[in-house]
């Protein structure tokens, strides 16, 4: 179902021939309305791929008729010619849908620094538009945007009053502050204006995708696009809609986390007792990015010293002798020194929870990361060769 779970959407995923593997590599999601209100958040990397630069312009209008997504090439760092390729992709889709290119978003993912083979991509758009459907299209589209993802990632939820939210996402590495190398398309048949969608999307991604940090690397292509068809006419309250949207984003965040490249552990870092939410996030991120700790977790070693060492590099409010750390519920560090017996920590489960108590205030935040493994190294040392 994925993005076609809500009414008013059709989708397709096809083989355009961009990937050497010969698997699906081009997707399209079309909003048949009556509304085409939309909002998006993009990577905060200052080196932005051509499709990000393009889609940022499209989204300024708050309306999206369709989005074309490709795997097999990021179209990043490809200069003016790369931007023209994105433009041509949007024009092609617009022509086939008899619509304006100015309301066609584009997303790309894959290797940076190579032009896309437009002689394969543009016929792929033809093929995808011809195959648009509400039935199988959603899953095929979710499949087509995969790169190193081992599984397609989809989610959907039913809201009060008969509306739905559906979504698909890809992302398996480079998951960092500004979302991830993730592409995500979220659809809804609720009827909400672009401004409300924008607020809801920022609120939902702030506590979900934005707090997933698999390897500290920020992609050039991250895009999360929310499109509303209004097909049910349902007008949910903004808080209720935001809550449901957050559920969908949290579900996908979890799927991205579990599928992170080479990961053998899914690590939740709960920072509590912080003087501010910003402090909690900064501390969580610092812990999430500590390679030595990530290796230790991989080795099932409850190495709380590396947690303290990571906390110590932040500007957060805390006193070193008031830090407490629990790993999987065992308070192995109390008052900045050793606490309960580390041998009591069961490190065998895939899920690992690190709780860091700063003893500095009432605020908290959770950041998710994965362990650092030899498989991660293998996967990322052979990516483009």
What are the catalytic residues? Answer: 181
User: Applying CB under 8 A, which of residues 17, 33, 216, 361 lies at the interface with a second copy?
Assistant: 216
195's CB contacts (< 8 A; 6+ apart) are 62
Integer Cα distance of 151 and 345 in angstroms = 31
Binding segment for a second copy among 20-28, 125-133, 246-254, 376-384 (CB under 8 A)? 376-384
Integer Cα distance of 173 and 379 in angstroms = 10
Q: Are 355 and 345 in contact (CB under 8 A)?
A: no
Binding segment for a second copy among 24-32, 44-52, 132-140, 252-260 (CB under 8 A)? 44-52
Concatenate the DSSP letters of all residues of 38-84 into one string: EEEEE---SS--HHHHHHHHHHHTTB-SEEEEE-SB---S-HHHHHH
Integer Cα distance of 202 and 59 in angstroms = 14
Integer Cα distance of 312 and 272 in angstroms = 16
Using CB under 8 A as the binding rule, whether residue 111 contacts a second copy is answered as yes
User: Applying CB under 8 A, which of residues 21, 130, 313, 350 lies at the interface with a second copy?
Assistant: 313
User: Applying CB under 8 A, which of residues 219, 229, 355, 369 lies at the interface with a second copy?
Assistant: 219
Integer Cα distance of 279 and 216 in angstroms = 18
User: Applying CB under 8 A, which of residues 35, 78, 246, 369 lies at the interface with a second copy?
Assistant: 78
Shortest reach from residue 213's CB to a second copy, in Å: 11
Torsion angle defined by CA atoms of residues 126, 129, 131 and 134, in that order, rounded to the nearest 10 degrees = 170
Binding segment for a second copy among 84-92, 182-190, 248-256, 320-328 (CB under 8 A)? 320-328
Peptide bond into 190 cis (omega under 30): no
Per-residue three-class SS string for 250-303: HHHHHHHHHCCCCCCCEEEEEEEEECCHHHHHHHHHHHHCCHHHHHHHHCCCCC
Using CB under 8 A as the binding rule, whether residue 5 contacts a second copy is answered as no
50-60 and 79-97 helices cross at what angle (nearest 10)? 50
The response to whether 261 counts as a known ligand-binding position is yes
Helix (H) or strand (E) holding 94: helix 79-97
The response to whether 170 counts as a known ligand-binding position is yes
Integer Cα distance of 43 and 35 in angstroms = 26
Q: Are 173 and 148 in contact (CB under 8 A)?
A: yes
User: Applying CB under 8 A, which of residues 61, 161, 162, 320 lies at the interface with a second copy?
Assistant: 320
Using CB under 8 A as the binding rule, whether residue 48 contacts a second copy is answered as yes
Using CB under 8 A as the binding rule, whether residue 324 contacts a second copy is answered as no
The response to whether 188 counts as a known ligand-binding position is no
Which residues inside 281-310 make contact with a second copy, applying CB under 8 A? 289-292, 295-296, 298-301, 303-306, 308-310
Shortest reach from residue 5's CB to a second copy, in Å: 33
Binding segment for a second copy among 28-36, 231-239, 245-253, 372-380 (CB under 8 A)? 372-380
Using CB under 8 A as the binding rule, whether residue 112 contacts a second copy is answered as yes
The response to whether 4 counts as a known ligand-binding position is no
Using CB under 8 A as the binding rule, whether residue 247 contacts a second copy is answered as no
Cα distances from 296 to residues 241, 271, 278, 305, 314, in angstroms, run: 40, 19, 26, 11, 20
Shortest reach from residue 307's CB to a second copy, in Å: 9
Binding segment for a second copy among 14-22, 56-64, 75-83, 240-248 (CB under 8 A)? 75-83
Instruction: Give the annotated binding-site residues for substrate.
Output: 147, 170, 181, 261, 380, 385
Instruction: Give the annotated binding-site residues.
Output: 147, 170, 181, 261, 380, 385
- Applying CB under 8 A, which residues contact a second copy? 44-48, 74, 76-79, 81-82, 111-114, 173-174, 177, 215-220, 289-292, 295-296, 298-301, 303-306, 308-314, 318, 320-321, 323, 333, 335-338, 372-374, 376-385
């Amino acid at each position: 179902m994925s993005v076609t779970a809500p009414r008013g959407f059709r989708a397709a995923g096809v083989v355009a021939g961009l990937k050497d593997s010969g698997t699906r590599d081009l997707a399209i999601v079309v909003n048949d309305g009556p509304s085409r209100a939309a909002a998006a958040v993009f990577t905060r990397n200052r080196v932005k791929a051509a499709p990000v630069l393009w889609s940022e312009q499209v989204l300024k209008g708050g309306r999206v008729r369709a989005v074309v997504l490709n795997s097999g090439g990021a179209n990043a760092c490809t200069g003016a010619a790369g931007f023209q390729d994105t433009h041509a992709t949007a024009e092609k889709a617009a022509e086939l849908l008899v619509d304006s290119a100015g309301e066609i978003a584009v997303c790309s993912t894959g290797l940076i620094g190579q032009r896309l083979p437009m002689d394969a991509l543009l016929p792929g758009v033809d093929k995808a538009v011809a195959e648009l459907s509400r039935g199988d299209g959603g899953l095929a589209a979710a499949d087509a945007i995969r790169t190193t993802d081992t599984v397609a990632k989809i989610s959907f939820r039913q809201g009060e009053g008969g509306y739905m939210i559906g979504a698909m996402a890809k992302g398996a590495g480079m998951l960092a502050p500004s979302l991830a190398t993730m592409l995500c398309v979220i659809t809804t048949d609720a009827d909400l204006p672009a401004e409300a969608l924008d607020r809801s999307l920022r609120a939902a991604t702030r506590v979900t995708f934005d707090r997933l940090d698999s390897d500290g690397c920020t992609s050039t292509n991250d895009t999360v696009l929310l499109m509303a068809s209004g097909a049910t006419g349902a007008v949910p309250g903004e808080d209720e809609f935001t809550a449901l949207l957050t559920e969908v984003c949290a579900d996908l965040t979890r799927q991205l986390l579990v599928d992170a490249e080479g990961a053998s552990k899914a690590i939740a870092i709960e920072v509590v007792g912080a003087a501010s939410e910003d402090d909690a996030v900064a501390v969580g991120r610092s812990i999430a990015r500590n390679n030595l700790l990530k290796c230790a977790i991989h080795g099932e070693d409850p190495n709380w010293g590396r947690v303290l060492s990571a906390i110590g590099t932040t500007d957060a409010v805390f006193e070193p002798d008031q830090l407490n750390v629990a790993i999987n519920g065992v308070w192995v560090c109390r008052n900045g020194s050793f606490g309960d017996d580390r041998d009591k920590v069961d490190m065998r489960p895939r899920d690992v929870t690190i709780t860091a108590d700063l003893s500095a205030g009432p605020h908290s935040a959770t950041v998710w990361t994965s362990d650092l493994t030899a498989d991660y190294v293998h996967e990322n040392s052979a990516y483009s060769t």
